[in-house]
Structure formats: structure tokens, C-alpha cells
Amino acid sequence: MSAAENKKFIQRVYAELSRGVTESFIENLADNIRWTVIGTTKFSGTITGKPDVIDKLFNRVESQLGGATIATIKNIVAEGDYVVVESSGEVTTKTGKPYNNTYCEIYRFSNGKIQEVTVYLDTALVEAVFG
């Protein structure tokens, strides 16, 4: 896919994720995806492989949230195989704590799939909300 197609895909997926629709996003993760969350939180580190990303990251985070995260893209830049997204997310945890973070996410595409993701976020907020 071209940079413009990758950018449109990410824009569409963010809108879907904000409505709690995850299928398209998950379907378009490469089987051997490499997902890195920067920092030293309990969610930080690098996970490789689609099943592990879903189980060890997505399911762990989702189990603590009270609904879908409303994601708002502030800026999006695409070049070559990369799409960089500056965004914010708003959600409340099951315990009633607001979790409103800001992100910079770098997506690398390969063969039409998301091959690699690096997430930069407010790690102090992650610690304050999720411990």
C-alpha cells in the first residue's frame, strides 16, 4: 500500500476503535508484529507476535477500562512505509478513574499489514491510573 493508503487506513481504524470496533485493526496486524510501549510501566516493553500482543497488551489494558477509548487524531504524517500519529485518548477505568492520555504512535507497514508499532505516552499518568 502507498503512504496515502496507509494514512487513510489508520484514520479509518481510529474512528472504528473509538466506537469499540476492533476487527479491522486486529485483522491488519502482521502475524509477527512487533509492538513497543516506551517507558517502565507494567504495560511497557516489546511484545512480538499477534497472539501475544492481543493477550499480553490489548486484553490486559481493555480488562481495566469501562468502555472504548475515544481517540482523537491531532496530526498524522505518512511517508513510505511509516505513519506517525499524534493523538489523544479519553476513557474511564472500571473503577471510575479518568484515563485521558496523549500519544505519539509510529506504525510501520509491510505487505499491507502493520508490522511494527512504537508508542510514546505519558507514563506517569499510566502509573497513576493503573499502578
- Specify the CATH number for the domain of residue 26: 3.10.450.50
Residue 31: its pLDDT value, please?
A: 98
Range of the domain at 80: 3-130
Q: Select from 128, 125, 108, 107 the least CA-distant residue to 14.
A: 107
Round to whole Å and give the CA distance between 91 and 98.
Answer: 6
Residue 74: its pLDDT value, please?
A: 97
Residue 26: its pLDDT value, please?
A: 95
Residue 123 C-alpha cell reads as: 507514563
Residue 20: its pLDDT value, please?
A: 83
Residue 56: its pLDDT value, please?
A: 95
Find all residues with CB under 8 Å of 92, minimum gap 6, and list them: 65, 66, 67, 98, 99
Structure pTM? 0.94
Block means of pLDDT (10 residues each) for the chain, length 131 residues? 95 91 94 98 97 96 93 96 97 96 98 97 96 85
Count how many domains the chain has.
Answer: 1
Residue 1: its pLDDT value, please?
A: 84
Residue 38: its pLDDT value, please?
A: 97
